[in-house]
Structure 1
Amino acid sequence: MTPKPPTQRNVIGTDEREVLLGFLDMQRATLRAALYGLTDEESRLSPSVSTLSVAGLIKHVAAVERNWAGLIRQEHQGADFKKHAESFEPADTPVADLLADYERAAEETDGTILAAPGLNHPVPVPQSVPWFPKDIEAWTVRWVLVHLIEETARHAGHADVVRETIDGAQAVELRAAVEGWPENGFVKPWRRGSAS
Structure 2
Amino acid sequence: MTTSERVLTGERASLLAILGRQRDMLRRTVRGLTDEQAATRSTVSALCLGGLVKHVAAIEDGWARFMVGGAEAMPGQTDDWQAGFRMIGDETLAGLLDRYAQVAARTDELVSTLDLDAAHLLPAAPWFEPGASWSVRQVVLHLVAEISQHAGHADILRESIDGARSMG
Structure 2 counterpart of 1:106, from 82, 88, 104: 104
Q: 1:99 corresponds to which letter in structure 2?
A: L
Quote the Cα distance in structure 1 between the aligned partners of 2:167 and 2:127. 34
Q: Which residue does 2:79 correspond to in 1?
A: 82
How far residue 112 of structure 1 moved from its aligned partner, in angstroms, is 1.7
Q: CA deviation at 1:61?
A: 0.3
Q: Does the 8 A contact of 1:122 with 1:141 survive in 2? A: yes
What is the TM-score with the length of structure 2 in the denominator?
0.86
Q: Which runs of 4+ in 1 moved over 3 A?
A: none
Deviation string 1:126-158 (CA, Å, 9 cap, x unpaired) is 23x34332142x111111000000000000000
Of the three residues 7, 10, 30, the one matched with 2:25 is 30
Q: Which has the higher contact order (CA 8 A, sep 6+)?
A: 2
The size of the alignment, in residue pairs, is: 160
C-alpha distance 123-135 of structure 1, shift in aligned 2 (>3 A)? closer
Instruction: Tell me if 1:153 matches 2:154.
Output: no
Kindly indicate whether the alpha-carbon contact (under 8 Å) linking 1:78 and 1:126 is maintained by their aligned counterparts in 2. Answer: no
1:26-65 equivalent positions in 2, closer than 5 A? 26-65=21-60
- Between the aligned partners of 1:77 and 1:14, the Cα distance in structure 2 is 29
- TM-score normalised to structure 1 length: 0.75
Give, in whole Å, the separation in 1 of the partners of 2:11 and 2:80: 33
Say if 2:22 and 2:147, in contact at 8 Å, map to a contact too: yes
Query: Which stretches in structure 2 are left out of the alignment for 5+ residues?
Result: none
Structure 1 unaligned spans of 5+: 1-8, 174-196
The structure with the largest alpha-carbon Rg is 1
Cα 1:145/1:77, change in 2 over 3 Å: closer
